[in-house]
Amino acid sequence: MSRHSFEIVRLLLAAAALGGALDAGAQRPPANPASGPESGASAPATLAAVADREAAEAAPSYGLVGGEILGFQFLLNRANRAFGSGREDYRVTGSSIRQNLKSGWGTDRDPFDINQLGHPYQGGVYHGLARSAGFDYWHALGFSFAGSAVWEIAGERTRPSRNDQVASGIGGTFLGEALYRMSNLVLEQGGGLPRFWREVAAGVIDPAAGFNRLVFAERRGIFSSRDAAYSSRLAFGYSGNVKRDLGPSNADFKRHEFQVAFAIDYGLPGSPGYEYTRPFDYFNFQATASSANGIENVLTRGLLVGRSYEAGPNYRGVWGVYGSYDYIAPQAFRVSTTAVSLGTTGQWWLSQTVSLQGTAMLGLGYAAVGTTRGPVGERAYNYGIAPRALLALRFTHGDIVSLDLTGREYFVSRLASGTSGGSDNIVRGDAALTWRIAKQQALTLKVLGNRRDATFAASGTQRQTQVAIGLFYTLLGQERFGTVDWR
């Protein structure tokens, strides 16, 4: 078991906890325009307003968060030294720290899931500790970036790696902020759960924030959603692979997969009075677990800086700079990227009952990509600067049916690779038709395709593809398909 397996299990439990809490079917509390932190009301009428007031009264402490991060790193180092693989890497001494301070930064050869899933989660822990202690997003990003640097220099004996710094220090904040927002949404909305179970669910989603809420009474305020419009789905089902080309992969390919998937859109455009003044006031989070290969994907994107806009009476949107962290692992290959993009998210009423929601993004990131169980002697994966694009659309007809179409593309170049060079082009597309059959219960038919074209001097051009068709039982959230009606 890798040293980050516990964090990976936490991530799976988080999706299930959030889905169960938000999809419980209770009605959302009515919107209250005085629920934001700017409100001057002396007697707030909602839990969110009380939370904003309590959070403002608890001044954040740099020393507290710094001590928590160092304490977490010490415990993680000791656990890896005692139980992890590569235990010598964690025999840190004064000499190894001095050597790391003098050495240049490179790229390491840790397993893909450790570098591209475990490290972002580790950075998310730093972020959650800072956010739940009262710091805003940008300060929390600083703690994550600094905490990652400290770990690279003093948490391991190995040479500091820039790929880990990007994954933990930057990707970790994109993942960590989504987890922090979702945990607070459970506390605030709750789906009808008693207070105790809200706390349990929120702690599973974001253990770092849960720890601070448990230990420090003054940190028990709730970060207000400001009545953000959101839509969530929790799906269970079967996926069968109908086309495959493993290329150089020696993976034990499994044709039949059982999957659990969770997705949420938070801060959907069009909600009256809702403004995008804080990072991640809009975000999307998705995660899928598979019986074939563990975690098939973790995807999150959030608006860092932006503003809302209108185009006539039937369109509302937001545009700006987005931060994203993607981890995609079909059975034959893996790709992960941390990126910053320019993009827009919007909703257009095409008729009285038909709407189109969507996000379009174009940006640049730092990515890792490689073959699952490739040939002996071949490096497991490569790094590079990676332009990326996303187009995600959802057509809905009332609360009866929705059609989701999503396309992603990543071009992982040889720039800043630090490895053997070459380039990769990865395309991933999916289509999902969801039909609501009763209340919040629905059936989803999904087609998912992945393709990788790798070009290297030694091996030429290689292609890997995988196409799957699945049928899922889907539990829709309280907002069902998530359309916002401002008309």
What is the identity of the amino acid at 468?
A
User: Closest Cα to residue 233, out of 481, 483, 485?
Assistant: 481
Contact 161, 366 (CB under 8 A): no
The answer to whether 314 and 295 have CB atoms below 8 angstroms apart is no
Pairing status of strand 423-438 against strand 230-245: unpaired
Torsional sign, CA 186, 187, 192, 196? positive
Q: How many CB atoms lie within 10 A of CB 310?
A: 13
Q: Is the pLDDT of residue 5 over 90?
A: no
Reply yes or no on whether the pLDDT at 209 is more than 90.
yes
List pLDDT tens digits, range 241-281. Answer: 999 998 888 888 999 999 999 999 999 999 999 999 999 99
pLDDT tens digits, one per residue of 428-464: 999 999 999 998 999 999 999 999 998 876 666 789 9
CATH architecture of 228-476: Beta Barrel (2.40)
Residues ≥6 apart with Cβ < 8 Å to 358? 345, 346, 347, 391, 392, 393, 394
Q: What whole-number percentage of the chain has pLDDT above 90?
A: 67
Q: For the chain, which residues make up each domain, given as ranges?
A: 47-219, 228-476
Give the global pTM: 0.87
pLDDT tens profile 49-78 = 545 544 444 578 999 999 999 999 999 999
Instruction: Tell me the average pLDDT of the chain.
Output: 87
Q: Is residue 13 predicted with pLDDT exceeding 60?
A: no
Q: What SS3 class is residue 61?
A: coil
